[in-house]
Amino acid sequence: MSAIIKTEHLCYSYHTEENKKVQAVNDVSIEIEEGQFVAILGHNGSGKSTFAKLLNMILTPESGKIFIDGKELTSPDITEDDIYDIRRQIGMVFQNPDNQIVATIVEEDVAFGPENLGIPSDEIRKRVDNALETVGMKKYARHAPHKLSGGQKQRVAIAGIIAMMPRCIIFDESTAMLDPLGRREVMDTIERLNRKDGKTVLHITHYMGEATRADRVIVMRHGSVYMDGTPKEIFTRVDELWEAGLEVPQTTEFMHGLNELGLSLPLDIFETEPCAEKSAEAILKWISDHK
Amino acid sequence: MALDISIGQYFEGSSVIHKADPRVKLISVILYITVIFLAKNMFSFALLILSAIALIIISRIPIKIITKGMKPLILILVFTAILNIFWLQGDTLVFEFGIIHIYLEGIMTAIFMIIRITILLIGTSVILTYTTTPIALTDGLEQLLEPLKKTKLPVHEFSMMMTIALRFIPTLIEETDKIMNAQKARGADIGSGGIMQRAKALIPILIPLFISAFRRADELSTAMECRCYRGGEGRTRMSKLKLRAGDVVFAGTFIVLGALIIIINIYAPGFNLAY
Ligand SMILES: Nc1ncnc2c1ncn2[C@@H]1O[C@H](COP(=O)(O)OP(=O)(O)OP(=O)(O)O)[C@@H](O)[C@H]1O
Ligand SMILES: [Mg+2]
């Protein structure tokens, strides 16, 4: 497998009105393989959104290099057309579905991206139908977006990106504003896009439960990569996560607490039932040992 | 608020007029307005009234809705009638009292004026506002004005702005409602007091609304950039409007109507009553 996204010593800073410099992304060098499901975690202001916006050239890096599929975005001879091609390949879904939907009819909105790309009408029609099918919103094709639920709106926004046929989709806290049901709908959609359609997924989130479903977890802190590994590797390093102002999955927190009382439980079980079984077993054993 | 401004006065339906191409409807309305002002005598007016009745029947829009839409017009109609009756001079004096002279021509003109304005309103609302969604109308207008794009007129930008405005009106109404409730819960007194007091009470609603609208605009523009938006150039459309035989017949009807009225005007000039 080859790296679809690669960054080398990427830096970016914002300049505020008072002429202050905020270093939002600081020396980030990572490689993301095609087809990977990567969760990006980090405290508020740790630079996650800025990093994401650098990858599809919404922001231009201050220094460092970005390669998409081996092509250097930061090279001086990159043209405007190249940038639009990158934006097509690296789709992005944001937090508030209301502020991403452009049209007054669901299918017209999904068509917006392909229309911008200048694709012929009948091809757009096919893509729109497929995209709506993929997110399970075919029934609502002719509906007005403002009458849908949050989760449904967000799935429409995802369909709008899928219709551009990207290879990678970045979700910037796309589940943050949704209720538990909407969050599950969207998470299931994201997971299906990755597992079934082979899309590379970068999922920025504050929900640890969602991050445990990824192949890889990257933790950012003060604009840099603080931790990088599989969910099991990352979430067992409870103290370091707390240090970065993050939570750990509830199961891990529970078992970590029991361990501090003298048990020795594994921290890398993220499903509730196995966690409960393992804990109960260990507690019973502890009781019989201390009789 | 149950108010649904986004669809305007659109009245859901599946009549021939609902289904007609919005471009054809726009052209038809222009034709119809022309025809209305061509009509000059009793026969042509009779024909106009018949055509308006036919339009209402074909569109299957309840007469109640149409009369309701006419209400704001009554004042204008009355005013026009009075103006014509008292000011217009003619040959046949009907009534005289002091400085007031009322002529037959004045009365006739007033009647025809009222008929014209009424039919104009029925025509435009039945052909356009009641039977066309705002979005179809914007689309139709954009595609109709497409030749003007060569003259550097921002046709696409205009229609994009209309679309986004239509898209965000319900969102912003919902938001206004939320802010108002939040301020009320904090004891803000919105619906009472003098004009100045009420205007002042609006400030704590408008400021958060504007701040949020600007934030939305900022996020929307980023999202549009992410979806490769770069203006109208090189852009295609999913639903290219296609003319069907029915559309041609629809517009043709108005041309025939116009021809008939011109013929009546020429061959029955004795009955010309309006000017
Ligand atoms: N437009 C901006 N102008 C100035 N500073 C900004 C701007 N956007 C972000 N910043 C600053 O850059 C830093 C990184 O912000 P960023 O939005 O990338 O963080 P984040 O990890 O996405 O946070 P969150 O979890 O809150 O979304 C923060 O300190 C933030 O205050
Ligand atoms: Mg962010």
Give residue-wise pLDDT tens across range B199-216.
888 888 889 999 999 999
Inter-chain contact A146–B230, Cβ cutoff 8 Å? no
pTM: 0.82
CB B241 within 8 A of CB B22: yes
Q: Could you tell me the two tokens for A205? A: 């989130």
Please provide residue A87's backbone torsions phi and psi, each rounded to the nearest 5 degrees: -65, -30
CATH class belonging to A3-248: alpha beta
Q: Could you tell me the two tokens for A177? A: 């504003």
Q: Average of pLDDT values for B75-80?
A: 89
Q: pLDDT exceeding 90 applies to what percent of chain B?
A: 28
Pocket of ligand 1 (CB under 6 A): A 14, 16, 22, 24, 42, 44-50
Closest ligand to C-alpha of residue A50 is 1
How far is it, in rounded angstroms, from Cα A120 to Cα A111? 11
Inter-chain contact A104–B6, Cβ cutoff 8 Å? yes
DSSP codes joined into one string, A202-271: EEE-S-HHHHTTSSEEEEEETTEEEEEE-HHHHHT-HHHHHHTT----HHHHHHHHHHHTT----S---S
Provide the pLDDT confidence category of residue B270 given band limits of 50, 70 and 90. Answer: low
The domain spans of chain B are 2-267
Name the residue with tokens 């289904």.
B19
Nearest-Cα distance to chain B for A8, in Å, is: 23
Kindly report the number of other CB atoms within 10 A of residue B100's CB atom.
9
How far out from the chain centre does Cα B128 lie?
7
How far is it, in rounded angstroms, from Cα A24 to Cα B94? 87
CA dist A17 → A21, A22, A222, B140, B213 (Å): 9, 11, 21, 44, 21
**What integer pLDDT is reported at residue B272 of this predicted model?**
56
Top residue of A99, A126, A172, A177 to mutate, by most chain B CBs within 10 Å, is: A99
Q: pLDDT exceeding 70 applies to what percent of chain A?
A: 100
Lowest mean pLDDT: which of A226-235, B58-67, B86-95, B135-144?
B86-95
A171 contacts in B (CB within 8 Å)?
none
Q: Average of pLDDT values for B42-52?
A: 90
Alpha-helical regions (H) of A56-179 = 80-89, 106-116, 121-134, 150-162
A111 contacts in B (CB within 8 Å)?
237-239
How far is it, in rounded angstroms, from Cα A56 to Cα A51? 10
Give residue-wise pLDDT tens across range A245-260.
888 888 888 888 888 8
Provide the pLDDT confidence category of residue A1 given band limits of 50, 70 and 90. Answer: low
Question: Ligand 1: which atom is nearest the Cα of residue A206?
Answer: 25
The domain spans of chain A are 3-248, 249-291
Question: CA-CA-CA-CA torsion for A151, A154, A155, A161, nearest 10 degrees?
Answer: -170
Query: Which member of A96, A102, A164 has the closest CB to residue B228?
Result: A164
Closest ligand to C-alpha of residue A47 is 1
CB A249 within 8 A of CB A235: yes
Helix (H, G, I), strand (E, B) or coil at B233: coil
| CA of residue A48 to ligand 2 center, whole Å | 6
Burial class for A77, CB neighbours closer than 10 Å (0-12, 13-18, 19+): exposed
